[in-house]
Every structure is written in C-alpha cells, then in structure tokens.
C-alpha cells in the first residue's frame, strides 16, 4: 500500500481523537440540557487564545497555561449556561439554537477586536516521529492520547460518581429527578462546566498543531455537529465512533483530492446518511 495513504489514515485516526473529545462534550450538553451549543467550537477558540496569551505574553509555563485554559473554559461554560441558556431553556428549540448562534457571532467578533484577524502561533514546534519510514507528528500523537484519556476520564466520572450518575439520570428522565433529591439546575451547571472543560482540553491539544485565529471555529465546528448527529444526538458512544469515521473520510479524501473537497465529501455523506439513518448511524 502507498506509504502516504497509510500516513493519511494514521493522521485521520489521530485527528479523530480530538474530534471525539469535542463530540463527547457537545453530546453531553445536548443529552443532559437538551440544547445544542452552536458556538461550541468557538469556545475552543477562546481556550486557544487564553493559552496563547498566557504562554507568549505572560511567560506562563505551557503546562500551567493549558491547565488555566481548561479551568477558564469550564468557568466559561458555566457563564454561558447562566447568561444565555438558562433564560431560553423553556423557549422554542430554534431560539436556543439562535441564542448560541448569536454567541458564536459575538465570540468571533470579540476575538477579532482583541487580536485582529492574524494567524497566531505559540511557537512550540514538537518533533516528528518516524516509525518504519512513516512520519507522524508528535503533536498529533499527544492530541490523540489526551483525547482518549479525556474520554476515558469522562466515562469513569459518569459511571462512578454520584454527580455523574445524576447527570445520566437527568438525560433519561429530567422531570422526576427532583424526587431523587437532585437539583436539576446544579446538574446543568456541572454539565456545562464539564462541556467547557472538554473544550478547554481540546484547545490545549489543537494549539500545539494549528495557528489560532478568530474564525478557526468555523473550520471544525460544523464537522463536530455532523459527528454528533451521525452518532445520534446525545448518544455519547455513537459520537465517539462517528468521530473516527468522519476523520477518516476527511483524511483519505484529502489524500486523493484537496482539503475543501474532502470536507465537501464528508458533508455530502453526512446529508445522505441523514436520509438513510435519520436518527444517527447507531440508532436502535
């Protein structure tokens, strides 16, 4: 087999790790709060800027800058819920989509105001690893590993803790959780914080590979939605699997043609799959 094709496939798998992380975050929020955060990818963008500023302007060590990025985005998730989601929780779903869509617009413009439209880079260049004459970027490897670690941590949290179990319970029957002594609003806040933290973690992993600019969310935001819908909105495992399918389509498509066309291919397959399996690939 063509060595470059193998490389493309491997890169696809590595990309899938980060996409999976974001799909998990978005699915969690949708499953529990029943709201789609259109601006989710833009929260990642904010996280990337936080890390960029701390690391390049304030000389904070990269590890701490990353931790601050995660914590900051968790707090940001809570703020988004309190300021934007909570007021429209009982409105029509379309208004909820639009409120977070307005946030998308706001965040992109605000980032432009603060940083301009330049592409910025933290200037950390990680080595490239060579295995059997296949070149793999170390940054992507790290991203993949931490993506998986994040997913496993989330799984354990949801499975092993009281709050985690309560979060899953809310996703299954939100009307009666009060009878269990669960305060729905606090579960929503916890969920938003986790969703934000996952976006923050993704920001740490992406900032090592890509330049930051205000509109970076537009490049992978739609892809994440696609993944979530393919996996079945709210279905965490489905989203996880779909991440790797979509990332392969993008990687292999990109290998045979160019990046834009590989995305066109991915979106078109998505539309077709929506017709064939309207409730997601893994709907029961």
Binding footprint of other proteins on the chain (CB under 8 A): 36, 84, 87-88, 91-95, 97-99, 101-114, 116-117, 162, 165-166, 168-169, 172-173, 175-184, 214, 218, 221-222, 225-226, 229, 233, 258, 260-261, 263-264, 267-268, 270-271, 274-275, 278
Residue among 167, 169, 195, 281 at smallest CA distance from 232: 281
CB of 136 to other proteins, least distance (A): 27
State which residue, 129 or 260, has the beta carbon closest to other proteins. 260
Shortest CB 128 distance to other proteins, Å:
28
Output the smallest distance, CB 195 to other proteins, in A.
17
Nearer to other proteins, 58 or 162 (CB): 162
Q: Which is nearer to other proteins, 136 or 265 (CB)?
A: 265
Residue whose pair of structure tokens reads 């993704």 in the numeric block? 202
Distance CA 84, CA 149 (A): 30
Q: For residues 91 and 121, which CB has a smaller minimum distance to other proteins in the complex?
A: 91
Least distance CB 57 / other proteins (angstroms)? 19
- Cβ at position 166, least distance to other proteins in Å: 6
The CB-of-15 to other proteins minimum distance in angstroms stands at 17
Q: Please identify, using beta-carbon distances, which residue of 70 and 177 lies nearer to other proteins.
A: 177
- Shorter beta-carbon distance to other proteins: residue 121 or 257: 257
Minimum Å gap between C-beta 43 and other proteins is 14
Smaller CB separation from other proteins, 65 or 84: 84
Give the end-to-end CA distance of the chain in Å, rounded to a whole number.
36
| 43-to-6, 48, 160 alpha-carbon distances in Å | 32, 9, 28
């Amino acid at each position: 087999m063509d060595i470059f094709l193998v490389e493309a496939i491997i890169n696809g798998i590595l990309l899938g790790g980060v996409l999976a992380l974001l799909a998990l975050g978005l699915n969690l929020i949708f499953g529990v709060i029943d709201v789609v955060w259109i601006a989710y990818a833009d929260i990642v963008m904010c996280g990337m800027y936080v890390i960029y500023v701390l690391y390049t302007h304030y000389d904070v060590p990269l590890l701490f800058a990353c931790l601050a990025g995660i914590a900051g985005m968790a707090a940001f998730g809570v703020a988004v819920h309190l300021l934007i989601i909570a007021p429209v929780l009982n409105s029509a779903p379309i208004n909820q989509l639009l409120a977070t869509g307005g946030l998308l617009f706001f965040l992109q413009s605000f980032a432009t105001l603060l940083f301009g439209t330049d592409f910025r880079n933290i200037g950390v260049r990680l080595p490239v690893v060579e295995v059997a004459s296949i070149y793999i970027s170390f940054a992507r490897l790290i991203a993949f590993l931490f993506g998986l670690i994040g997913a496993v941590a989330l799984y354990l949290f949801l499975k092993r803790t009281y709050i985690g179990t309560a979060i899953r319970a809310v996703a299954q029957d939100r009307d009666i959780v009060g009878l269990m002594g669960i305060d729905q609003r606090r579960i929503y806040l916890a969920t938003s914080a986790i969703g934000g933290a996952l976006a923050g973690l993704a920001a740490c992993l992406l900032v090592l590979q890509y330049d930051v600019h205000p509109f970076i969310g537009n490049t992978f935001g739609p892809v994440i939605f696609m993944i979530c819908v393919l996996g079945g909105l709210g279905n965490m495992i489905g989203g996880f699997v779909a991440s790797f399918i979509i990332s392969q389509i993008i990687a292999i498509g990109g290998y045979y043609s160019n990046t834009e066309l590989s995305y066109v291919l991915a979106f078109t397959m998505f539309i077709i799959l929506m017709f064939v399996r309207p409730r997601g690939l893994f709907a029961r």
